[in-house]
């Protein structure tokens, strides 16, 4: 629905949709086969984990830490904006 609102053209080609399914299945297979200790360490420093946790809590109603999720994502956004602003001068030369 968001793509329609933003007028982003999505392909409904059955072969492309089959490719999307294949990519999602392969990605899920990869992450489910990772060592739990490595995956847990990665998820603690990955901002996407906080986004998923917050969305799951707000949309599905599962236990989550929405305030912590918002703070971590806000901090990551500020850090990324600051870093990209600092690098912008180098990239435009």
Per-residue pLDDT of the chain (93 residues; tens, 9 = 90+): 777 787 878 778 888 889 888 988 887 777 767 777 777 787 788 888 898 888 888 888 887 789 999 999 999 999 988 988 888 877 766
For residue 34, give the DSSP letter: S
Query: Can you give the pTM of this predicted structure?
Result: 0.57
Dihedral, CA of residue 30, residue 28, residue 38 and residue 60, to nearest 10: 180
Q: How far is Cα 9 from Cα 84, in angstroms, rounded to an integer?
A: 29
Strands (E) located in the chain: none
What pLDDT was estimated at residue 69?
93
Domain tally, the chain: 1
What pLDDT was estimated at residue 33?
73
What pLDDT was estimated at residue 79?
92
Q: Which domain holds residue 46?
A: 2-92
């Amino acid at each position: 629905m968001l793509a329609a609102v933003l007028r982003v053209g999505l392909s409904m080609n059955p072969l492309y949709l089959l490719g999307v399914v294949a990519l999602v299945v392969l990605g899920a297979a990869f992450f489910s086969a990772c060592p739990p200790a490595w995956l847990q360490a990665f998820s603690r420093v990955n901002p996407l984990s906080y986004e998923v946790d917050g969305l799951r809590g707000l949309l599905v109603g599962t236990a989550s830490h929405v305030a912590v999720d918002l703070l971590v994502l806000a901090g990551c956004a500020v850090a990324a904006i600051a870093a990209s602003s600092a690098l912008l001068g180098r990239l435009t030369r």
